[in-house]
Amino acid sequence: MITTSPGDTSRLRATADFVREQDTATLLPLLFPGLDGPELRSLVERCRFSHAALLVFPPARAALDAMLTECGLVADAPPRPSVVVRRRLAARHARRARELDVGILRPTVQCQDGARRTVEVFALTVPPGSDLGAVAAHERERQHEAHVAFEVPAPDPLVLRGLCAVFEQYGATPDGGGHNPHEDGTVFYFTAPADAKSPYTRVELYAPGDHRDVLAAHLDGHRARQPAETLLRLLTGAWTTQALTAFARLEVADAMDGERGADPAELARATGVRAPNLAVLLRYLTMLGVVREDRDGFRLTDVGGLLRTDAEGSMRPLALMYGGPFYESFAGLGHTVRTGEVAFERRFGENHFDHFARDPELAELFDRSMAAGARMFDPLPDHPVLASAADGATVVDVAGGNGELLGRILSAHPRLNGVLLERPRTVETARRLLDAAGHTARCTFRAGDFADVPAGGDVYILSRVLHDWDDDRCREILRHCARAMHDTADLLVVERVLPTDGSASLATAWDLHMMCNVGGRERRADHYARLFADAGLVLTGRTPLPLDGDVLHVRKAGPAHAGAGL
């Protein structure tokens, strides 16, 4: 005999009736009293009421089907796992997510205005006699997952910011959100104002696509109302670094199969660690979005996949570097701020270049960690200076590391030649990499320092070099380049440039890192322009790159460039 909860059935029927009876123009004023006139019409034009949601607690799948039938609802597909709701339930009730069988259904209903909308049904299976009864009772009383949702059919950043601003203007408060990579959609949650006339106090704004730039400001508003929690999360940032580093160092990602889930015990056997402890680490990484947990176990997300050794664009070397030597030296940040001394040098007794050079394994890790940020370089070969260079032109990569960037340029432009200038040991590493890519016939390798910048090049590159040094050393490096450049040569400087408006940027974070660990700094564009001018050069253009990078186009100063710059 199939039994259902009368309470759940009546709640589901009430939700379905609500969806049938409401439309966008009638629901918005219920949620936001005082909203009318032009602003109401503007919202109705830009978002539409899409569904109402609730959480029910059937003892089994058959009971859920019976409940839907009794309410006149038909699901067009079996329940899918609801990872987000399961994760929230696990956090609220201190449960393991794997213990919670949460599915999601979206039966459609015909509405009074002729539209077809959905009832979003989350179902937590609570078998008879289960200790999940207390969870069900709490959730029925608090209705944490009940909400109404509006979809933005044609989202763009301006529209999304405007919608969020109007919601807040009429009393809604930001209440979290996130980007779902599986559906490629971004969700903004709000708590309705206290005087709302709707039975639902939680409002969802759904925008197809990835809008995490707008979401970041929304989440800032949410966190601003929870300062203690925000500070606690910030204070545990060191745990995040070490969790990622441990995951990378133990090669757990390498042991995970992207096609199927893995149990902690299975992964523990493959990596030689303790299964209970690994389970704790994996749960933490699930919260970070590095892995995800489903009924089959743990799987890598796209983020976690970058910690595999064999992943294209693997960032595992960065995890080992930031969680290794640089992590140790960051403990001396206060000393650097107080005295101006570089914390890395205080911790290890020498600057990081010399320290890594003494240890072949560390030196190799440093070179690989620099190459791991190569995603910044993706658009660089298409830069107009390189794309328009004459056949047979020579590109000189000054302090070019292991040749990652120069190799990309030579691959994109078979008509160009290259010169790589680096320290002797690193030159040999670059020679092997570029030889494997088939570029050595078009590439010359020079072992030396900045004073050895070769003359005769047509395009010179300084990629992530100047931020290693103080202004005086930067001027010296730039003067060496200027002396080597002929009058029509170009210089491309790749750096993270500090914003002028205080906006969030990786450059601001790297400025702290460079100060503490390297003794260098990030700079604003006008600061770089002054350094170029001191070396007889002029900044003529700036192009954005991924990972908050920029390429600064520089030429020799002269009458043709008078008044140029930014």
What span, in angstroms and rounded, lies between the C-alpha atoms of 351 and 344?
A: 7
H-type alpha helices, 71-132: 83-93
Report the amino acid identity of residue 110. Q
CB within 8 A of 14, min separation 6: which ones? none
User: How many C-beta atoms lie closer than 10 Å to residue 121's C-beta?
Assistant: 28
- The answer to whether 344 and 512 are in contact (CB under 8 A) is no
Burial class (CB in 10 A: 0-12, 13-18, 19+), 346: middle
Which pair of tokens denotes residue 534? 């001191």
**Helix, strand, coil % (nearest 5) of the chain?**
50, 20, 30
What span, in angstroms and rounded, lies between the C-alpha atoms of 465 and 473?
A: 11
DSSP H/E element including 10: helix 6-21
**At 191, is the secondary structure helix, strand, or coil?**
strand
| C-alpha to C-alpha distances, 549 to 497, 529, 543, 545, nearest whole angstrom | 7, 16, 9, 5
195 HSE (CA, 13 A, CB side): 7
Active site residues: 467
DSSP H/E element including 343: helix 343-348
Which pair of tokens denotes residue 211? 């809008």
CB within 8 A of 189, min separation 6: which ones? 147, 174, 175, 176, 177, 202, 203, 204, 205
What span, in angstroms and rounded, lies between the C-alpha atoms of 486 and 525?
A: 24
What span, in angstroms and rounded, lies between the C-alpha atoms of 449 and 477?
A: 10
Give the E-state strand segments of 271-326 in sequence order: 291-294, 297-300
H-type alpha helices, 110-190: 133-142, 157-169
Report the amino acid identity of residue 475. R
Pairing of strands 443-447, 490-495: unpaired
Residue 317: which of 251, 369, 249 has the closest Cα? 369
What span, in angstroms and rounded, lies between the C-alpha atoms of 148 and 119?
A: 10
DSSP H/E element including 462: strand 459-463
What span, in angstroms and rounded, lies between the C-alpha atoms of 489 and 379?
A: 21
Residue 59: which of 12, 108, 129, 106 has the closest Cα? 129
For CA atoms 231, 504, 472, 469, the dihedral sign is: positive
CB within 8 A of 321, min separation 6: which ones? 365, 366, 369
